[in-house]
Amino acid sequence: MDDDVRERQDDQGLRDSAPRRTYLAAERTYLAWLRTGLGALGLGLAVGRLIPALIDSEHLAFALLGVGYSLLGVFLILFAGWRQRRVHRALVANGPIPFDGWVVNVLTVAGLVLATATVFLVVVEV
């Protein structure tokens, strides 16, 4: 590529850079957490309202399970915002990206409990 063209690209900010890619990756991660939280909210609605209507079952157990999924969704959305701010501060300060291992453990346990309860209720009610 011609040096003159390369300089124009630099002046216009069109060249890709590692910090730019890192910021964009952090934004994609935030959006993934947000999508997962919204998905959990939708799943809470489906488990709490749709499944009982489809299998003509008692609504209380499914409603409680739906609340569990919804609480998981709210937690994910709140955590997404909190984590995004922490990652952004670390990137601006050129520091290490924080690792939240406790969240991985909490989400794994919560997901397993909710999934097991869902399977149990569906099998018992069908």
Best CA proximity match to 73, nearest among 46, 33, 34, 37: 37
Query: 0.85 cut: is pTM over it?
Result: no
35-86 per-position pLDDT tens digit: 999 999 999 999 998 888 888 877 788 999 999 999 999 999 999 999 999 9
Q: Which of the pair, 50 or 11, is modelled with greater confidence?
A: 50
Q: Is the model's pLDDT at 3 over the cut of 60? A: no
**What is the CB neighbour count within 10 angstroms for residue 9?**
13
